[in-house]
A and B are shown apart, each in its own frame.
Chain A
Amino acid sequence: MDKGKIKTDSNENRTKEVWKTIGVIALSVFLAVLTVVVINI
């Protein structure tokens, strides 16, 4: 197994978590807009 970077580095984990949260926010807003539009048309 290639060793390379040590996985338990907390900066890597933090960056991954930030991107995950941004993705969830974007998805939530998209679904919220969809809900509001569908209910009102």
Chain B
Amino acid sequence: MNIGERLSEFFSKMSGNSEMLIALVVAVLVFSVLYFYLIKFYVNHGANILVSLFVAVMIIAAGVISMAQTMNSAMFLIVPAIFIVLTVVLYSVEIKRLILAKKSIKLYDMKHSSRAIDGEKVEKCINEIIKALQNMSKNDVGAIIVLSSGNVPGQIIDSGVRIESDISSELIESVFFPKTPLHDGAMIINSTKIVAAGCFLPLSQNVDGIPKDLGTRHRAGIGVTETIDVMSLIVSEETGIISVAKAGKISRYADYEKLKQTLSQYYWQELDNMSI
């Protein structure tokens, strides 16, 4: 029997049997939920290539198994099973973190970023942040500032102290001044507000990709960018060097121009093909 005949036999069996139809609908729902969480996990962790690979392998396997009449079609389930095992192996740390933090995961309430913000205020924020970073760098004051779009999990915000204040260089420098209560954690900035300070960030699990002379502060700044779509600005306590971290990568020796460009990219959307 070729595929066409097998498919028409399947659909004719289904149309006459309501119990079978209900069972198939339930099966589709169960598999949909399973695939939804798997694909969403890949998307949230920036692994879009795994999504493409998963879809491609599923389609190819479906074609091969359908055409091979001697093969047991239940073997098709090996494909999603392999991808689930691969995900658990590749993302064991993230999965463990998700399971342990399941009860308290919530996104930071975005209501504070929904009010209208104007260009002048944005430029002021950029200048204040750069001024603070340069002052802290000059005085070898260690700092981590996370630039978010309201996507930092609530558990990270809750690990620190909520500030909910306008951005000013004086406030930033005060927070990170040595021996103050909040100086040891990270500051979270969302749009034009300092959301919280003294927050604990996940450390980077990348053993080989980070220079050995970078300490825990830099690892925390890099680590948070590995799992969440944010940028980190880090000032080294030992050397005063300002670094920028994004997507698990760190770029050191950021000068005024680099900081201006980074912060402008954070605040402004590039419009390549703006239509009027």
Contact status of A3 and B73, CB under 8 A, knowing A8-B191, A10-B150, A41-B7: no
| Contact assessment for B66 and A38 in the assembled complex, using a CB-CB cutoff below 8 Å | yes
Interface size class of B (residues with CB under 8 A): 35 or more
Q: What does DSSP make chain A's interface, helix, strand, loop or mixed?
A: helix
Contacts of A40 in B (CB 8 A): 10, 24, 73
Q: Any chain A CB within 8 A of the CB of B100? A: no
Interface size class of A (residues with CB under 8 A): 20 to 34
Contacts of A33 in B (CB 8 A): 28
Residues of chain B from 258 to 276 with CB closer than 8 A to chain A in the complex: 264-271, 274
| Contact assessment for A41 and B10 in the assembled complex, using a CB-CB cutoff below 8 Å | yes
Contact status of A10 and B114, CB under 8 A, knowing A24-B40, A28-B39: yes
Q: Any chain B CB within 8 A of the CB of A37? A: yes
Contact status of A34 and B62, CB under 8 A, knowing A8-B190, A8-B267, A11-B114: yes
Q: Any chain A CB within 8 A of the CB of B87? A: no
| Contact assessment for B73 and A41 in the assembled complex, using a CB-CB cutoff below 8 Å | yes
Residues of chain A from 8 to 41 with CB closer than 8 A to chain B in the complex: 8-14, 20-21, 24-25, 27-29, 31-41
Query: With A and B bound together, what is the CA distance between A38 and B65 in angstroms?
Result: 8
Contacts of B55 in A (CB 8 A): 27, 31
Binding site for A on B (CB under 8 A): 3, 6-7, 9-10, 24, 27-36, 39-40, 43, 51, 55, 58-59, 62, 65-66, 73-74, 76-77, 80, 110, 113-114, 117, 119, 122, 149-151, 190-192, 264-271, 274
